[in-house]
Amino acid sequence: MSNCAIVGINWGDEGKGRMVDLLTERYDYVIRYQGGGNAGHTVVNEYGKFALHLLPSGIFRKGVMNILGNGVALDLENLYQEMQTVIAQGVAITPENLRISDRASLLLPWHRELDGLEEARLADKKFGSTKQGIAPFYSDKYQKKTILAGELFYPEHLKEHLKDLLDWKNLTLTGVYGAEPAKLENLIAWFDKYGEFFKPFVCDTGKLLKKASKEGKSILFEAQLGSLRDLDYGIHPYTTSSNAIAAYAPVGSGLPSAKIDKVVGVVKAYSTCVGEGPFVCEWFGEEAEKLREAGGEYGAKTGRPRRVGPIDIVATRYGVECQGATDIALTKMDVMSYMDRIPICAHYELNGEIIDDFPFPAALYDCKPVIEYMDGWKCDISGARKWEDLPVNAQKYVEYVEKAIGCRIRYVSVGPERDAYIERV
């Protein structure tokens, strides 16, 4: 059995969904192990174009079992909508190809509400939350104040548990934020609709995975967001509220003893960042607008314009180290074809010194990018399928990045379509 994790190396939106969709062919199980519906993986395949938020990207492959592990923020309401959209485009989703861990905690309507209330309280100091309830959800999870999906099978116990949580949560809703209290009957109606619908999908996925592992099946772990958004290793406090790095995959998947043989780190050929926080290599004005347009850099979930800039070698090398990446997929190379010269943020300058190690988050505000340039290739590379098809300047760029970040670039993606890539052997 060979297991693989596909993870983001930077700020997210690197094209992980596209790589998982491509590589699922080689795996039996695809597992989302953290995060919720707060980010979107865009996948383009024979069924159409999809923005997946919670569904594992293996959902399009016949014979692949997809799992939402115990580490995810299980937002049944969003998942329900997402499933309806995907099913409407001709993809079958049943317990035959989707299972949900009975140990996954449920993201409840009050988590989303609390996210909105807190962002409103922060006003101009807001973090740029997607308001999907992720931070309140994970806070509650670590306080052990959540409902587990498996409780759907214990209705009496569930009702008592809900009542207790409701009393506790209303102290915050009314006392801290002056909002309306949540009502038990609304919650029960919510469970009647979504809980009942999802019951057939919920099971002990740990058991399922143990069996799969014994049978020599292979597993693909799918991350949401990138290293720089990891709760512990990212740019605190502009991180997400869970661990996005590969090391967390066994814990959040339901198979804590899993060995990961291969970690494919996805790096975009330039940088993008959604939300607030320091972003050293950021471009502004016309050149930013041009890159944003060329790359279609608008959030899959929110439609927000993404902040953009050249590739950041310092942050990327750090991201590669955090992930323990064994292979890199460099995506969106085709987007840079319009550039006369290719910019690279090769180092940072901090207090007059050149640095190559990613600094403590608070120091990032004082870092300036040190930009170097390579010659552009100035031609359409979206049809390239072999290394030799790439113009020499594009090859040189790949080789430069590979050397600078210290990890083999195995895949070069030149378009969003499933087959628009080059695999280097």
User: Using the rule CB under 6 A, is 39 a contact of ligand GDP?
Assistant: yes
Only one of the segments 36-44, 118-126, 138-146, 192-200 lies at the binding site for ligand GDP (rule: CB under 6 A); that segment is 36-44
Min dist CB 393 to ligand GDP, Å, is 17
Name the percent of the chain in helix, strand, coil, to the closest 5. 40, 25, 35
Residue 144 main-chain phi, psi, to 5 deg: 60, 35
Strands (E), 150-208: 202-203
Task: Kindly state the helix (H) or strand (E) to which residue 394 belongs, with its residue range.
Answer: helix 392-405
Interface map 42-61 toward ligand GDP (x if CB under 6 A): x-x-----------------
32 is a contact residue toward ligand GDP (CB under 6 A): no
Is the dihedral angle over the CA atoms 124, 127, 130, 135 positive or is it negative?
Answer: negative
Q: Is the Cβ of residue 206 or residue 415 nearer to ligand GDP in the bound state?
A: 415
12 exposure class (CB count in 10 Å sphere: 0-12, 13-18, 19+): buried
Q: From residue 329, how far is each of 6, 15, 264, 318, 374 by CA, in Å?
A: 9, 9, 7, 16, 20
The residue among 58 and 195 lying less far from ligand GDP, judged by its C-beta, is 58
Angle formed by the axes of helices 392-405 and 313-323, to 10°? 60
CA distance 325 to 2: 15
Catalytic (active site) residue 167 = no
Candidates 8-16, 81-89, 209-217, 355-363 — which segment interacts with ligand GDP by CB under 6 A? 8-16
Query: Any bridge partners for residue 415, and if so which?
Result: none
Answer for the pair 222, 241: CB distance below 8 angstroms, yes or no: no
Q: Which is nearer to ligand GDP, 213 or 239 (CB)?
A: 239
Catalytic residue among 21, 41, 312, 347: 41
Nearer to ligand GDP by Cβ, of 254 and 265: the residue is 265
Our finding on whether 31 is near ligand GDP (CB under 6 A) is: no
Q: Out of 99, 111, 131, 332, point to the residue binding ligand GDP (CB under 6 A).
A: 332
List residues bridging with 371 in a β-sheet: 345
**Omega before 343 cis (within 30°)?**
no
Q: Which of 9, 11, 15, 326 binds ligand GDP (CB under 6 A)?
A: 15
414 near ligand GDP, rule: CB under 6 A: yes
Contacts of residue 185, defined as CB under 8 A and 6 or more positions apart, other chains included, come to: none
- Applying CB under 6 A, which of residues 14, 28, 102, 115 lies at the interface with ligand GDP? 14
Catalytic residue among 13, 28, 140, 230: 13
Binding residues among 61-90 for ligand GDP as defined by CB under 6 A: none
Binding pattern for the stretch 273-312 against ligand GDP, x by CB under 6 A and - elsewhere: ---------------------------x------------
Residue 86: CB minimum distance to ligand GDP, A:
15
DSSP structural state of residue 14: S
- Binding residue (CB under 6 A) for ligand GDP from 24, 213, 253, 331: 331
Query: Can residue 130 be called a binding residue for ligand GDP (CB under 6 A)?
Result: no
Over the window 362 to 401, marking each residue x when it contacts ligand GDP by CB under 6 A and - when it does not, the resulting string is ----------------------------------------
User: Among this protein's residues, is 157 annotated catalytic?
Assistant: no
Taking CA atoms, 402 is separated from 33, 311, 363, in Å, by 28, 12, 26
100 burial type by CB count under 10 A (0-12 exposed, 13-18 middle, 19+ buried): buried
Catalytic residues: 13, 41
- Contact positions toward ligand GDP, by CB under 6 A? 8, 12-18, 39-42, 44, 300, 331-332, 334-335, 413-416
